[in-house]
Structure 1
């Protein structure tokens, strides 16, 4: 079994520990370690793909990999090369090693890296959510300041969300762009500099995180009083709740649309009890909820990777 993630990934650590306790051989690596401490050799023949991946401590026979848990590997980097050569080397690594990892025969992917990439586009996720039957807040994606102001005037209150959230370093401390309510006074010509996502604010009474692992659904009600509960975990209160049947069906329809086996779904619940889809993270965190609630999520993921029913 392969686990592809960064060195510092506590979520992957607990899954690997569970698999180790079950006697399942695991090879863990970060694709960003290539080629310094990770080597690849793959042949494509009429009989298919064969070869091996080698880390400082282990070797994986590509033909015998039964499952791959793809989490959050770092990107390829070649700092010893000049800019042009590094750009070429990164592209070759991405399409070479990345292509091999994505082409393993008879391998169960949780999740397939290409499908993760598709699902991480917020416009794709929101339109797929509508198709699956979820309620989705009215959303605008634009680089036009006038369009943004008009949307806020018609639909306020409105929040701003980053379409993606790369890490910023502020005084050498990692930071991200936060979700925040915006008014027309906040919109200026800088909006024209790139794409932005504006969304009608759901007047929520609570949040719900639903983690789907294969055919298992783990549903947790979250009380916080925060616009975005992820900014302060110390204020969260958790309650286990059943997944409504219509939501259950839509969850799996959504995942099937992208070919995913795992998804961390976030919903806002309004005063009338309606669940509003906010997003699905195909590589989302989940283990802290097992620690807080006792839900057997790690075991479910290990079962999935072992292809147990």
Structure 2
């Protein structure tokens, strides 16, 4: 189909079939698609996370060039991150990704005014944490070895170790999931030189199978147990 026709059909399917799947009587969702939708917006994530006790780097959302420039000078170095993974292609049709990048204040120009941008003080991290929560189980993986700012660009260079989740962090994770009505969440953190843990974001539909097999197996088992026990409970 032509792109406009295809886009129309996709949206019809999303609101038709998607609406049916979200409205079935009695199923157990991990997560309910409407809860995922509510939890995908980064401004809502950050506001909720602050109420749940997470440490969050100073952050600005703006389409004002002057505000962005002042924020960068006051809090630099700062990074820019996209607000969602929107499809984008080059002229050859190849999919492109907008990575998290450090921002030079001198590069900020009138383009800032074209749409809202998210700027954040850069955390000088010595490691990253990916915390995957499945029901009451929380798996914390320490990620080290990234040669760049966005570790997603350097999978082959990374090392992963499953560590104990700090108790206060686990409590904040639980409060956050409850606030959005989530069963599952994948949280990203940076650890600075003082061992302070800074929240970047939570993906309510985050991936995990790229971890080494021993870690992946634990998360898969937790998900299977979650679905199995929920099914047993509903059967009773």
TM-score by length of 2: 0.90
Gaps of 5+ in 2: none
Deviations 1:28-73 (A, max 9, x none): xxxxxxxxxxxxxxxxxxxxxxxxxxxxxxxxxxxxxxxxxxxxxx
Question: Aligned equivalents of 1:158 and 1:152: distance in 2?
Answer: 6
- The higher relative CO (CA closer than 8 Å, separation ≥ 6) is in 2
Instruction: Name 2:118's counterpart in structure 1.
Output: 197
Measure how far apart 1:91 and its partner are. Answer: 5.0
Measure how far apart 1:115 and its partner are. Answer: 0.8
Gaps of 5+ in 1: 1-78
From 137, 153, 171, the equivalent of 1:216 is 137
Structure exhibiting the larger radius of gyration computed from Cα positions: 1
Measure how far apart 1:82 and its partner are. Answer: 6.8
Measure how far apart 1:80 and its partner are. Answer: 6.6
Question: Aligned equivalents of 1:266 and 1:202: distance in 2?
Answer: 12
Asked whether the 8 Å contact 2:48–2:179 carries over to 1, the reply is yes
Instruction: Name 1:153's counterpart in structure 2.
Output: 73
Deviations 1:147-174 (A, max 9, x none): 1001001110100000112232234332
Measure how far apart 1:93 and its partner are. Answer: 3.5
Structure showing the higher helix proportion among its residues: 2
Matched position secondary structure for 2:171: helix
From 111, 136, 152, the equivalent of 2:31 is 111
Alignment CA distance shift 1:178-1:86 (3 Å): closer
The number of residue pairs the alignment matches comes to 229
> 2:167 aligned with 1:254, yes or no?
no
Asked whether the 8 Å contact 2:209–2:216 carries over to 1, the reply is no
From 84, 88, 101, the equivalent of 1:168 is 88
Asked whether the 8 Å contact 1:209–1:220 carries over to 2, the reply is yes
> 2:95 aligned with 1:184, yes or no?
no
Question: Aligned equivalents of 2:7 and 2:202: distance in 1?
Answer: 33
Measure how far apart 1:293 and its partner are. Answer: 3.8
* Coordinate RMSD, CA, aligned: 2.0
Question: Aligned equivalents of 1:230 and 1:305: distance in 2?
Answer: 29
From 10, 13, 16, the equivalent of 1:93 is 13
Question: Aligned equivalents of 1:209 and 1:278: distance in 2?
Answer: 10
Asked whether the 8 Å contact 2:160–2:212 carries over to 1, the reply is no
Structure showing the higher strand proportion among its residues: 1
- Greater shift in the superposed pair: 129-138 or 166-175: 166-175
Matched position secondary structure for 2:66: helix
Question: Aligned equivalents of 1:213 and 1:266: distance in 2?
Answer: 15
Asked whether the 8 Å contact 2:79–2:122 carries over to 1, the reply is yes
TM-score by length of 1: 0.70
